[in-house]
Amino acid sequence: MAADVKRYVTSCSVCQFSKPCQRKPAGLMVPVVPQKPWEYVGVDFVGPLPRTPAGNAYLIVLVDYMTKWIEASAVREATAQVAAGKFVTDIFARHGAPTYIISDRGSPFVSELFEHVVSTLGSVHRLTTAYHPQTNATERVNWTLKTAIRAYVDDKHTSWDKYLPHICFALRTAPHDSTGLSPSMMLYGISYPETLRASLQEAHDHARAALDYSHDRQKRYYDLRRRHTTFDVGDLVRVKTHPRSDAQSNFTAKLAPLFEGPLRVTQRLGDVNYRLTWVDSGTDAGVYHVVNMQPFHTWDSLTSKGQFSTVHLFCHRSPFIFVRSFALCVPTLTVLYV
């Protein structure tokens, strides 16, 4: 009977959608390893920031994954037209078309205009999974930029765009922790024509070795706080919700379900990314990272494995009854054998 009791409580859909997961987040690190400058480029908007006298309220940031060179510009709005224009003027016109450009799923980057410009110039656009932007290296640069701006502006918050060239210069000329070299050294080498080619080649070889070491070190520490999780095609899962409170409709995110579903795994796209569809409608739900996924259990999917160790389970139903150290709440015991 203990096995049936545990199956009953574990397969409770309300409990699965309402209770937080107490385990380590799923998904080990899968580093992006560039082999040459401007192979991978990340792009993102920062803002809105206080509008400056020039009318700027956003930052658009583009980062080369290998050299760590950044291009940052103050802009008035975060739109597809601005993103496409800055990609052409700041990246394509200066450095050529990157092999891949990585962005989040913000509306400026999923627009037809941005997709058309990127593909026309010969680059492949890759999107991060929903609610997991860590793939985009620009996220870390954004944090550094905001920290530097905070140090420069003091209490003059509408003057942040004046200091942007100075901040970019500092970041481009300072040695980066991952490569051990400054982005300017990585991209342009030293200013002696006779040794420029040799210096650049030496810098790139050094950076590849340093990046491999840095990725291994970062992955080792990152994976200490993560667990390896995989799903098979056809598995049922539930995914994290990210609700927002709405005072007008008396809705608070603190009392909203933590998960929604069930969804079915239809395609495995890598070690940590999966394409899902809704079970009830069969419509595509998009691509999810395993950190936002948990198994969805049904009565039939759970199998008895003999005696269970002493564990306390809580279900939303009442009243409570106790069987073999299981804290259960089921309407009646007869439910287990219907």
Asked if residue 321 has pLDDT above 70, the reply is no
Output 329 or 228, whichever has higher pLDDT. Answer: 228
Q: Determine the pLDDT at residue 89.
A: 92
Residue 267: the pLDDT is: 92
CATH 2.30.30 range(s) for the chain read 235-304
- On the question of pLDDT at 313 being above 50, the answer is no
Give the pLDDT of residue 20. 77
pTM of whole model > 0.75? no
Say if domain 235-304 classifies as CATH 1.20.1740: no
**Beta-sheet pairing, 100-103 with 124-127:** parallel
pLDDT tens-place string over residues 11-20: 787 778 777 7
pLDDT, mean of residues 249-278: 87
In this model, does residue 306 exceed pLDDT 50? no
Beta strands in 187-333, from DSSP E residues, in sequence order: 236-240, 259-268, 273-278, 284-289, 293-295, 320-323, 326-329
Q: Which amino acid is at 212?
A: D
52-61, 140-149, 208-217: the lowest-pLDDT one: 208-217
pLDDT of 145 > 50? The answer is yes
Cβ-proximal residues to 153 (8 Å cutoff; 6+ apart), any chain: 159, 160, 163
What separation in angstroms does the CA of 250 have from each of 171, 256, 259? Answer: 46, 12, 20
> Tens of pLDDT along 150-194?
877 877 888 888 888 888 888 888 887 777 788 888 887 754 444
- pLDDT value of position 126: 87
Residue 207: band (very low, low, confident or very high) from pLDDT cuts 50, 70, 90: low
Counting residues of the chain whose pLDDT is more than 70, the rounded percentage is 80
> Could you give the residue range(s) of every CATH 3.30.420.10 domain in the chain?
40-192
Report the pLDDT value the prediction gives residue 179, as an integer from 0 to 100: 76
Considering only the top CATH level, what class is 40-192?
alpha beta
Q: Which H helix or E strand runs over 152?
A: helix 138-153
